[in-house]
Amino acid sequence: MLPGLPSWFKYDVQRKLERLAEWWRDSPVRIWASEHRGLLVAIAVGLVALLLPVVVRVARREPPPPVMKCEKEWYYDLNTGKLFTAEKDLRPPIEAPSGPLPNGEPAGVRAYVLTYVEEPNEAERFLAFLETSDPTARGASPARGRASPDNIAHWGWGRLIRRPADSRWVPADSPYGQMILQEAFSPNENGKRPHYYEPK
């Protein structure tokens, strides 16, 4: 028993085990259990019956669905005034379903559809502003990205924006452009800021 340990330690462990066996032999719990074997079996069966559905449910639990990364973004057809979707990170203007503008340029511009709720219906989302590229911008363009209250100043370089009802495009990093963006991302009456609603 317990090779490699000092003999005094082996003796001490053996004495404790003997005392534990004596206690169990004279224990009221063991005596009660031996007199009520049927009740103990019934309790054990009841516990198994209660736990079995839980074990089965845990064992059969399906893994969560994978998070689908959206590969589309909203665009706006300047000819029809309607939203459509196209590949992510295209540089507007792009081709629109209705064809080119009367001047021959593409009619599709980037659209920012925002919402204050997590899973909005059509009435709970709104078209905040439109974006196209500034043809007069020179030099390296900063990384493409999504407009948000945290990166408005950096995001605006080389972009023209306007509200859907406006007729004139303005540089996004101009004072008027910054006003449009601040207005778009302003908090509602509950203090919550809107976020971009990705197309499904």
pLDDT digits (tens, 9 = 90+) for 82-132: 999 999 889 999 999 999 999 999 999 999 999 999 888 888 999 999 999
Q: Which residues contact 197 (CB under 8 A, 6 or more apart)?
A: 113, 114, 115, 120, 125
pLDDT at 200: 81
pLDDT at 65: 57
CA distance 178 to 99: 31
Q: How sure is the predictor about 166, in pLDDT bands with cuts at 50, 70 and 90?
A: very high
Of residues 192 and 34, the one with the higher pLDDT is 192
pLDDT at 140: 47
pTM here is 0.60
Of residues 74 and 15, the one with the higher pLDDT is 74
- Residue % of the chain over a pLDDT of 70: 80
pLDDT at 46: 81
Mean pLDDT score, 130-135: 92
Of residues 57 and 124, the one with the higher pLDDT is 124
Mean pLDDT score, 151-166: 80
Token pair recorded at residue 110: 């980037």
Whether pLDDT at 26 is above 50? yes
CA distance 137 to 62: 51
CA dihedral (91, 169, 78, 118) in degrees, to 10, reads 70
Q: Which of 112, 109, 108, 110 is nearest to 126 (CA)?
A: 112
